[in-house]
């Protein structure tokens, strides 16, 4: 015990005072440590010249930010108010359980971060597959061994055989399907499936109460999407797959934390049920596939899109991969393509239905894109000129504003091949680095408006009076964003499904508002964003969103 501590204790000998001092002295030591760290933090931020290491954020700084939230931890609010973590114009690092995490914020740094091809999320995907999705140990070991990279030419030091290049093969497969020749046929199948599905819903001209609009989207939008992906057999043989998929989604953090089954029975039951359904579907597809049924796009009615058929061939050739490993990857892919796009579609519909003026504009834009079928009239589902629909300014603005306001995610990267230099900052190898669009999306200096604060839904942020002579009142623009609107990340590792997601969100909004009236009956507190899936993209609502809905007879 030091000299100053002895002097303090000599002032009193009452037991209660001794207890106070024993509590206060460690806190005093932490405070001194914090003050010194704060001084070094700001000093290192101001230093210049040469390749620098991002300054270490003092450990007490984020903790004090938590207390300011009234002892109720909301990770989104914490991220937005912890200015020394996410509000910096220079990169910083924070120490968590002896691990340094490097945080890049500010538009310039974020874009430089996202342009780094050597940064990868491959190792993190392996971790998530193992912890959350149940990837078998033998397959996980193959992930650990793959040091060949995501590019056609493997890294020189890698000895991985071509068939075991998991990162490269999965990246190529995803881009081929979601950005290459696989996108157009998938889009056509989805548009046909969802239009027919919405047309046949058991909803007539009288108001029908729906307990939760979220479950409406989880069931009635996800079903045609899955049928477009992998044919109709999966849901026909396993109608509980959708329920298990969304139960798993709502318990994703439980699965990552890895509690015993007795503490998270619902989460494990949902995951096990979803994986069992996918394995059964694989066995059925293997036994029933007919090569003569493959169409000009390479798709067939058994596997649905050729994506799954080709991925199975990839996985069958990788050492240590069995049917359990394949089902794990399929569940991860289906989860990744549905969780954000479906919930974003829900929010765009809710915000449109809540505002009668906005609803009228959406219906006007949608009507302008209708393809009139003189034979079917209004007896069949509406058909749209999709190229024209996706260019409608108000629909695009609703889509963009929903993503700006509702994204609650991080872009986490890792690298193993030497240090990385980003805008004059050095990131040592084998370290985690991350960025998030949340802070940029909620920056009042970029998005602020005297009548519409940043936390308010207002599509007008992305609209300006039309100047192109098209006759439209508005045109869509992202110029106000100054590069700060980046819901899908950017650079080489930008989300490959962003084009399909935009189509799904805009098309589903145009379709449902054209076909149905809907009244949102939820209490405002239930419409607040849930933090159940914070960190993984678009946040859903905190509570149930009851609605009443009816079919429109005239479009």
Binding residues for heme, by number, are 495
Q: Judging by DSSP bridges, how do beta strands 432-435 and 99-103 pair with one another?
A: parallel
Binding residues: 495
Helices then strands, each counted (H, E), the chain? 24, 13
Cα–Cα distance between 460 and 398 in angstroms, integer?
Answer: 9
CA distances from 360 to 283, 351, 513, 516 (A): 48, 12, 9, 13
User: Quick one: which of 305, 301, 244 has its CA closest to 275?
Assistant: 244
Instruction: Give the DSSP H or E segment for 298.
Output: none
253: tokens are 């953090």
Tokens of 478: 């992202």
Residues 6+ apart with CB under 8 A from 304: 189, 227, 228, 229, 230, 231
Q: What is the dihedral of CA 210, 216, 219, 223, to 10 degrees?
A: 120
54 near 69, Cβ under 8 Å?
no
Tokens of 515: 């076909």
User: Cα(375)–Cα(238) distance, rounded to whole angstroms?
Assistant: 37
Contact 241, 315 (CB under 8 A): no
């Amino acid at each position: 015990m030091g000299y100053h501590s002895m002097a303090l204790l000599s002032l009193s000998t009452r037991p209660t005072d001794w207890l106070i001092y024993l509590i206060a002295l460690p806190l005093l030591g932490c405070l001194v440590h914090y003050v010194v760290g704060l001084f070094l933090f700001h000093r290192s931020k101001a230093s210049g010249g040469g390749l620098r290491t991002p300054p270490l954020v003092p450990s007490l700084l984020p903790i004090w930010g938590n207390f300011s939230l009234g002892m109720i931890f909301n990770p989104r609010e914490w991220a937005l108010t912890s200015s020394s973590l996410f509000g910096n114009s220079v990169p910083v690092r924070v120490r968590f359980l002896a691990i340094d995490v490097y945080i890049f914020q500010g538009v310039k740094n974020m874009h430089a971060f996202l342009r780094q091809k050597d940064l990868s999320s491959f190792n993190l995907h392996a971790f998530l597959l193992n912890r959350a999705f149940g990837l078998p140990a033998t397959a996980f070991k193959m992930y650990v061994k793959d040091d060949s990279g995501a590019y056609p030419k493997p890294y020189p030091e890698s000895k991985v055989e071509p068939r075991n290049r998991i990162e490269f093969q999965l990246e190529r497969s995803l881009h081929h399907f979601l950005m290459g020749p696989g996108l157009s046929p998938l889009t056509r199948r989805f548009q046909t499936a969802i239009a027919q599905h919405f047309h046949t819903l058991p909803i007539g001209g009288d108001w029908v109460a729906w307990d939760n609009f979220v479950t409406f989207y989880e069931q009635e939008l996800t079903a045609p999407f899955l049928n477009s992906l992998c044919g109709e057999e999966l849901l026909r043989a396993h109608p509980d797959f959708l329920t298990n998929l969304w139960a798993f989604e709502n318990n994703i953090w439980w699965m990552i934390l890895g509690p015993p089954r007795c503490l998270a029975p619902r989460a494990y039951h949902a995951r096990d049920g979803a994986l069992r359904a996918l394995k059964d579907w694989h066995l059925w597809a293997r036994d029933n596939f007919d090569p003569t049924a493959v169409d000009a796009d390479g798709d067939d009615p058994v596997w649905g899109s050729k994506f799954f058929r080709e991925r199975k061939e990839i996985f069958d050739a990788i050492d240590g991969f069995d049917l359990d490993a394949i089902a794990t990857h399929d569940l991860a892919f289906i989860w990744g393509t549905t969780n954000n796009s479906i919930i974003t579609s829900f929010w765009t519909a809710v915000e449109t239905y809540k505002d009668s003026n906005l609803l009228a504009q959406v219906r006007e834009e949608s009507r302008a894109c209708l393809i009139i079928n003189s034979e079917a009239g209004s007896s069949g589902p509406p058909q749209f000129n999709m190229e024209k629909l996706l260019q409608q300014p108000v629909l695009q603005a609703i889509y963009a504003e929903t993503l700006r306001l509702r994204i609650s995610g991080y872009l986490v990267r890792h690298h193993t091949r030497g240090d990385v230099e980003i805008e004059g900052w050095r990131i040592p190898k084998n370290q985690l680095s991350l960025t998030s669009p949340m802070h940029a999306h909620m920056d009042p200096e970029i998005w602020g408006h005297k009548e519409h604060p940043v936390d308010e839904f207002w599509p007008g942020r992305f609209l300006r009076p039309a100047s192109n002579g098209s006759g439209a009142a508005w045109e869509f623009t992202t110029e106000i964003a100054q590069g700060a609107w980046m819901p899908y990340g950017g650079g080489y590792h930008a989300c490959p499904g962003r084009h399909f997601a935009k189509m799904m969100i805009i098309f589903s909004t145009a379709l449902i508002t054209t076909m149905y009236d809907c009244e949102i009956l939820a209490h405002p507190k239930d419409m607040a964003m849930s933090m159940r899936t914070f960190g993984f993209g678009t946040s859903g609502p905190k509570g149930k969103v009851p609605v009443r809905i009816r079919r429109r007879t005239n479009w």
